């Protein structure tokens, strides 16, 4: 159990910065996900936490202890690797027992802990097998078993379920989250899959190009992204972006596109704070904040042509050609529009976002 503080940390590979001035505080016992595309610096961050890479600048603290110069074995962290990294020549039992053996635990303790961990992970029947006799999901459980058997200060999970098939991945998401709650150990979980981060974490750190973009709870990240990049990365299907003009008209402020003119809500006008008055901006709206109909619901509706319908089981995703761009709308499978037909879209203005056209930061 530890509070992990990452203070002004930089990581350079040669001249190339991989992590730029990172500041994160992970509260004791929390489940923190570091989310970002490949090459965003999330794995470098994790490896610096584990002690597998040197920290180029800045400090990492576990509680009040600075761990920059400690060897991995002295940091009391446990890590689960993307490719599991099991010892191929050892049985499952010996793999899980390894951290305890290295710490010279007594044989009784080892047996008790290994069988306990195996029971928790439902792999008791596999203890005598070797890694090559296991399926991907089983290997992953063994890797987790090896991590939890020692009761470390901090868990580091590096995309542990990225290689599992979709169904097993969904199952393991729940398992890992439950495990973390049960053990109450601080966990830092690196992933590129926004769904994993949103569904499992207490807090998410979104990284891009080595920089922390946003820190917050999953709901904050999803509902109030700080910039257009975060808004576009988080959420599936992805947010729609439309470049619009901002135009004052009497007391109203309108978002004007070649296809539509929609006034902002009064609170949103205040949040805009005059900054982007009479300029261009990017309007962002998630597919589920739009509704589609075949008849014009009101004057402000956007008008387009259905490009394609995708049935996603319980939902239908409709791609609509809106002048020169396409936007995606989530609707029910009962929607009857056919490709090529005219349709109308109305937007839930409580759930839309406006981003600066230049640096992409969010006004709301």
Query: C-beta of 302: minimal distance to other proteins in Å?
Result: 50
Q: Between helices 136-148 and 92-102, what is the axis angle to 10°?
A: 20
Q: How far apart are CA 244 and CA 266, in angstroms?
A: 18
With contacts defined by CB under 8 A, how many residues of the chain interact with other proteins? 25
For other proteins, the closer of residues 76 and 356 by Cβ is 76
Query: C-beta of 160: minimal distance to other proteins in Å?
Result: 12
For other proteins, the closer of residues 52 and 278 by Cβ is 52
Residue 95 has phi, psi (to 5 degrees) of: -60, -45
Q: Please identify, among the stretches 33-41, 99-107, 202-210, 247-255, the one whose residues bind other proteins according to the rule CB under 8 A.
A: 99-107
Query: C-beta of 130: minimal distance to other proteins in Å?
Result: 12
For other proteins, the closer of residues 84 and 344 by Cβ is 84
Residues 145-184 that bind other proteins (CB under 8 A): 146, 150, 156
Q: How far apart are CA 238 and CA 198, in angstroms?
A: 14
For other proteins, the closer of residues 149 and 226 by Cβ is 149
**Of 348, 259, 344, residue with least CA distance to 305:** 344
Residues 107-146 that bind other proteins (CB under 8 A): 146
Query: C-beta of 139: minimal distance to other proteins in Å?
Result: 12
Residues 31-90 that bind other proteins (CB under 8 A): 50-52, 71-73, 75, 77-79, 81-83, 85-89
Query: C-beta of 105: minimal distance to other proteins in Å?
Result: 10
- Could you identify the residue written with the tokens 């792999």? 123
The two tokens of residue 128 are: 């005598």
For other proteins, the closer of residues 150 and 177 by Cβ is 150
For other proteins, the closer of residues 116 and 216 by Cβ is 116
Q: How far apart are CA 224 and CA 309, in angstroms?
A: 28
Q: What is the DSSP string of 137-155?
A: HHHHHHHHHHHHTT--SEE
Query: C-beta of 162: minimal distance to other proteins in Å?
Result: 13
Cα separations (Å) of 117 from 86, 92, 146, 148, 149? 16, 12, 8, 7, 6
Q: How far apart are CA 70 and CA 364, in angstroms?
A: 43
Query: C-beta of 176: minimal distance to other proteins in Å?
Result: 18
Burial environment of residue 69 by CB neighbours within 10 A (0 to 12, 13 to 18, 19 or more): exposed
Cα separations (Å) of 338 from 46, 263, 309, 324, 342? 48, 30, 8, 20, 9
Query: C-beta of 83: minimal distance to other proteins in Å?
Result: 6
Burial environment of residue 61 by CB neighbours within 10 A (0 to 12, 13 to 18, 19 or more): middle
Query: C-beta of 152: minimal distance to other proteins in Å?
Result: 9
For other proteins, the closer of residues 88 and 250 by Cβ is 88
Pick one of 30, 33, 44, 98: the residue that binds other proteins (CB under 8 A): 98
Q: How far apart are CA 180 and CA 200, in angstroms?
A: 10
| Contact flag: residue 13 with other proteins (CB under 8 A) | no
User: CA triplet 263, 267, 271: central angle to 5 degrees?
Assistant: 95
**Of 229, 195, 238, 225, residue with least CA distance to 326:** 238
Residues 192-251 that bind other proteins (CB under 8 A): none
For other proteins, the closer of residues 127 and 154 by Cβ is 154
For other proteins, the closer of residues 70 and 183 by Cβ is 70
Binding residues for other proteins, rule: CB under 8 A, are 50-52, 71-73, 75, 77-79, 81-83, 85-89, 98-99, 102-103, 146, 150, 156
């Amino acid at each position: 159990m530890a509070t992990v503080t990452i203070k002004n940390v930089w990581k350079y590979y040669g001249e190339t910065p991989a992590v730029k001035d990172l500041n994160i505080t992970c509260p004791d016992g929390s489940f923190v996900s570091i989310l970002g595309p490949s090459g965003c610096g999330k794995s470098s961050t994790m490896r610096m936490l584990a002690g597998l890479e040197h920290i180029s600048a800045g400090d990492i603290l576990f509680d009040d202890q600075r761990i920059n110069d400690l060897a991995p074995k002295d940091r009391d962290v446990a890590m689960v690797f993307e490719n599991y990294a099991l010892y191929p020549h050892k049985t499952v039992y010996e793999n899980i027992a390894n951290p305890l053996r290295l710490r010279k635990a007594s044989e009784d303790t080892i047996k008790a802990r290994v069988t306990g961990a195996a029971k928790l992970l439902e792999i008791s029947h596999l203890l005598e097998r070797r890694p090559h006799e296991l399926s991907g999901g089983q290997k992953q459980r063994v890797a987790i078993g090896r991590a939890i058997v020692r009761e470390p200060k901090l868990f580091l999970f590096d995309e542990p379920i990225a290689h599992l098939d979709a169904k097993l991945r969904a199952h393991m998401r729940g398992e890992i989250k439950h495990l973390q709650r049960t053990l109450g150990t601080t966990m830092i979980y690196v992933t590129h899959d926004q769904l994993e981060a949103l569904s499992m974490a207490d807090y998410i750190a979104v990284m891009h190009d080595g920089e922390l973009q946003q820190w917050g709870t999953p709901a904050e990240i999803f509902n109030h992204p700080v910039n257009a990049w975060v808004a576009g990365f988080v959420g599936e299907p992805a947010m729609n972006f439309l470049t619009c003009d901002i135009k004052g008209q009497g007391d109203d402020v309108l978002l004007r596109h070649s296809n539509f003119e929609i006034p902002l809500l009064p609170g949103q006008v205040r949040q805009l704070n005059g900054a982007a008055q009479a300029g261009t901006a990017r309007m962002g709206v998630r597919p589920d904040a739009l509704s589609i109909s075949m008849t014009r619901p009101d004057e402000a509706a956007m008008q387009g042509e259905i490009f394609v319908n995708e049935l996603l089981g319980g939902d239908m995703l409709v791609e609509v050609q809106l002048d020169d761009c396409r936007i995606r709308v989530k609707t029910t499978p009962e929607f009857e529009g056919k490709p090529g037909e005219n349709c109308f879209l109305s937007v839930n203005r409580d759930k839309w976002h406006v981003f600066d056209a230049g640096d992409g930061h969010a006004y709301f």
